Structure 1
Amino acid sequence: MVGIILASHGEFAKGILQSGTMIFGEQENVKAITLMPSEGPDDLKAKMKEAIASFDKQDEVLFLVDLWGGTPFNQANSLFEEHKDKWAIVAGLNLPMLIEAYGLRLSNESAHEIAASILTSAKEGIKVKPETLEPVTGVASQASAQQSNAGAPGSFEYVLARIDSRLLHGQVATAWTKAMQPTRIIVVSDDVARDKLRKNLITQAAPPGVKAHVVPVDHMIKLAKDDQHFGGQRAMLLFENPEDVLRAVEGGVPLKTINVGSMAHSLGKVQPNKVLAFNQVDIDTFNKLKKAGLNFDVRKVPNDSKGNMDEILKKAQEELAKLK
């Protein structure tokens, strides 16, 4: 796996490393290197060498630095000179750039190729409100047009169906979108469909080139039965709870696997692990989904190891029994 060095003036590199972990999960072979006021260039270079020496694979290294021409860049560049054929440096470090690099290195062993690919995400992550302040380039509209085949004969291809009480947030908009390559993200929820504020926030949170929609469960059932207008469309469905999933499946939405990512704790629920909380209705609903032939993929982000849903439900049932 390509090693990544995050380098900055001050604590910025450590902060963005923490942000990346919150969104994409813990990462191996990634180090944050900081230049503090009391340190000089040689100190920074020594830190970089030590970090690289700790990587499992040292022949492919990607430096993401804060500022072109600054000390972190200059010291990375001095190391880079002897490894031009394999290593790469990208300046202007931002979070979209880092998340894109994390996603790419899951299937790409070349620092050069990752460096070239993350430039677009880094630039597209820079947006402004009001939108009238944006320069008119047409890039976003072109990307949407390329990925949208609305009106073509055929049905949706369901690339992911996920239960997540937070719905469309950072882990979904970056890690899962990168892994599954949807053309549409569809939040399926009666409650959210009635809430104009939440609905607007979700549609605005869609990553570049992907359309986001919010629909009630019954409407999703109708869309799933339409085989005339959604050919070529790769749909990612997001549900707040398993009950809505069951309604959708019983109504004819052809799902085979449910990714279980997050279920928030509330009064009357037990929490058998860090991110999933259940009441008796939730447990009964998952059992019904299992009887209907659905599989469960218990992961927050794509590179997490999968949890055992049977064991999680068993533990939840035992904890609920103790409350009675």
Structure 2
Amino acid sequence: MMRDPYTVLGVGRNASQEDIKKAYRKLAKDLHPDRHPGDSSAADRFKEVSAAYNLLGDVDQRARYDRGEIGPDGQERMSRTQYRTYTGPEGGEEGFGGFHGGGARGFDDIFGDIFTSFRGGRQQARGRDRKYTLDVSFLEAARGANRRLTLPGGKTLDVRIPAGLEDGQQIRLKGQGDAPPGGAPGDALIEVSVKPHPLYTRRGNDIHIELPISLTEAVLGAKIKAPTIHGDVTVTVPEGSNTGRTLRLKGKGIVNRKSGQDGDQYVRLKIVLPDGKDPELQQFVKSWSRGEAFDARADLKTD
């Protein structure tokens, strides 16, 4: 018998959809078959967690479960009204009038109708959608990629990650959900979780990076290589550049999925000194007359 999905995910009945999603992500990550090869217990738990999220992660399905219309397995429960239809007004044996004569139909006829009715309903219904999560790298989401998702039970789905996909967005795979007997299958809904990158930060369709430069490059100017999601490019550091100066690289950002145009990349320069003491540099600074008169904090506002 399937357990209560709230218990499976370790959340209360008043949990928000975001809380449910967070609980599922943590459990799915900890229990994923790739992390526990050959562990049937972990695999069973992973299936149970996935099934619980498939129900509670869908707002409509969750509401129906809370109202008692469907069970923890997502299957329809016979309502009191439906039950009374076949058992009579008081729910007693009056509904089975065949046992007392009067020309009523027999036990097999009545229950045959019940099960035929439900079978017919399922045959006409579309299968349930299934929800999964997929972790992808920053560059996979930015540039697009092909990934393979392993489902509970060992089945795999090939997923195309379109360029420019954002964290939390969904990919719909038609016909990869539940397939009821005689009915159209539901879809697989893949929610993408994009991992952060140590260098690149996304803002809209633009990319921002902080690029270290030497004191020499800052003072004298230079042509240096800057990384982008599309590969390295050469940029010009103007003479006298300071930390915080930002260079714009047009069209080196993430593609806009609606317009098809690429965003830009913004390169923020950061002056970095060599590690340790440099006697030559120290001597220069001591002899640099303007350095003593320059107040680097003159524009600092404290109000």
Alignment TM-score, normalising by the size of structure 2: 0.29
Kindly indicate which of the two structures has a greater share of residues assigned to helix. 1
Larger RCO: 1 or 2 (CA < 8 Å, sep 6+) = 1
Alignment TM-score, normalising by the size of structure 1: 0.28
Task: Give the structure with higher Rg (CA).
Answer: 2
